[in-house]
Structure 1
Amino acid sequence: MPNPADPEALAQLPLSELVACHECDLLMRKATLRNDEKALCPRCGYELYAHRHNLVSRSLALVLAALLLYIPANFLPIMQLHLLGQTSDDTVWSGVLGLYNSEMRGIAVVVFLCSMAIPLLKLLCQLAVLLSIRLDFGRSYGLLIYRIYHHLREWGMLEVYFMGVLVAIVKLADMAQLSIGLGLFCFISLLLVQVWLEVVMAPHQIWQALSGEDIHAGD
């Protein structure tokens, strides 16, 4: 746990040795962490930062897994609808096309961006950042890409789309015969991998690594 210390003593320290709590704004001296340790604010208990073991290797594995899941999650059938002798396969992409062809083009664009384009762009940004750290090449571009990634985080809404799919399944269950497709399992897997990636890819370590500091991120 970081030491808040005396305000006069803190004023003598360089900014690189200080950290402020995002919740209560307490300024304190930055603590050195070992693998898998977390720094908590002594005032409010907020997690300030963490040191993940094998951060780059684990994050790269998760990013590649998410990219492999991306295509089947968006283009394989999420569910199959049987109604009045007709059968239709519904995918994320077919949902976007359906909205577009129904003259709801603005909604179609938003769904496409939030459920397909931005999640893919986020994964590609994470991949580029991790490769710049692993290969020790182009870290200045890595900093720019990581800033872009943080601006995109709020726009990737896979969990919102997933809740919409669940609502649709519940409402249609009494009206027609439904079969769950492989695409839904891939979509859920993609969502879980991205959540896991957010946990593993500690921002504090990534910023330090992109700044050229030796944080043993690849240990």
Structure 2
Amino acid sequence: MPDPADSRGLSELPLEELIACHECDLLMCKPLLADGERAECPRCGYELFAHRHQVIRRSLALVLAALLLYVPANFLPIMQLNLLGQASQDTVWSGVLGLYDSGMQGLALLVFLCSMGIPLLKLLCQLCVLLSIRWDVGRSYGLLIYRIYQHLREWGMLEVYMMGTLVAIVKLLDLADLSLGIGLACFAGLLLLQVWLEVTMSPHQIWEALSGENALARH
């Protein structure tokens, strides 16, 4: 990336042409990148941002795929347990209901929000933001929704639920006849799609597209 401007010249530049490193706080001129390029801090090597190719189209495809997997991931059986002649099928939703019926309403609400409610809300926020950029409508609402999404990122804990499910499967293998359901594959696919989406949906390009600074980010 280009060398940072002289400190005397930085004060004369508008704020939209400046960028600060998140790691070492070095203030420098914002570089112009082509598709596939990334900008790194010249002092500490931290990746400032990357310019990815067709970020909106690729992100839209991932969001729609994740939304299609959401229902089977949460409502289809994750596992079937056969113990002493009794069989039961467990889903994410049945786990929430089981906690609620056991008198642990607070825990049931927390599990519902972190494993079902907030992940769905995040996907809907991403969809609205991407559509506002793609169709060039409601940019001000897109900015608000994207800010809300940034606050929700820390509360979606699909990976924690997935890890807990895997631990439970390992512990139950020696106690009962256990068979895995299609819901587990859908849940794992949903988790992978959300991670892939986080990598693909470049925040730098999204903010620029929402503010109208970079029309190329819409393609």
Q: TM-score, normalised by structure 1?
A: 0.98
Deviations 1:140-166 (A, max 9, x none): 000000000000000000000000001
Deviations 1:168-191 (A, max 9, x none): 011111111110100000000000
- Matching residue of 2:82: 82
Runs of 4+ aligned residues of structure 1 deviating over 2 Å after TM superposition are 1-5
Q: Distance in 1 between matches of 2:2 and 2:200?
A: 21
Secondary structure (helix, strand or coil) at the match of 1:217 reads helix
- Matching residue of 1:191: 191
- For 1:83, give the aligned amino acid: L
- Matching residue of 1:179: 179
Q: Which residues in structure 2 correspond to 1:66-77 (within 5 Å)?
A: 66-77=66-77
- Matching residue of 2:113: 113
- Matching residue of 1:3: 3
Deviation at 1:46, TM superposition (A): 1.2
Sequence identity (%): 75
1:125 aligns with 2:120: no
Tell whether the 8 Å contact from 2:205 to 2:214 is kept in structure 1 after alignment: no
- For 1:22, give the aligned amino acid: H
- For 1:169, give the aligned amino acid: I
Secondary structure (helix, strand or coil) at the match of 1:98 reads helix
Deviation at 1:62, TM superposition (A): 0.3
- For 1:104, give the aligned amino acid: M
Tell whether the 8 Å contact from 2:80 to 2:90 is kept in structure 1 after alignment: yes
Deviation at 1:5, TM superposition (A): 2.5
Deviation at 1:132, TM superposition (A): 0.4
Q: Distance in 2 between matches of 1:119 and 1:65?
A: 14
Structure 1, unpaired ranges of 5+ = none
Q: Distance in 2 between matches of 1:2 and 1:171?
A: 54
Secondary structure (helix, strand or coil) at the match of 2:184 reads helix
Q: Which residues in structure 2 correspond to 1:1-219 (within 5 Å)?
A: 1-219=1-219
Tell whether the 8 Å contact from 1:2 to 1:40 is kept in structure 2 after alignment: no
Deviation at 1:2, TM superposition (A): 4.5
- For 1:196, give the aligned amino acid: W
- For 1:106, give the aligned amino acid: G
Deviations 1:77-134 (A, max 9, x none): 1111110001110100000000000111100000000000000000000000000001
- For 2:20, give the aligned amino acid: A
Tell whether the 8 Å contact from 2:97 to 2:108 is kept in structure 1 after alignment: yes
The count of residues paired between Structure 1 and Structure 2 equals: 219
- For 1:19, give the aligned amino acid: I
Tell whether the 8 Å contact from 1:205 to 1:215 is kept in structure 2 after alignment: no
Secondary structure (helix, strand or coil) at the match of 1:58 reads helix
Q: TM-score, normalised by structure 2?
A: 0.98
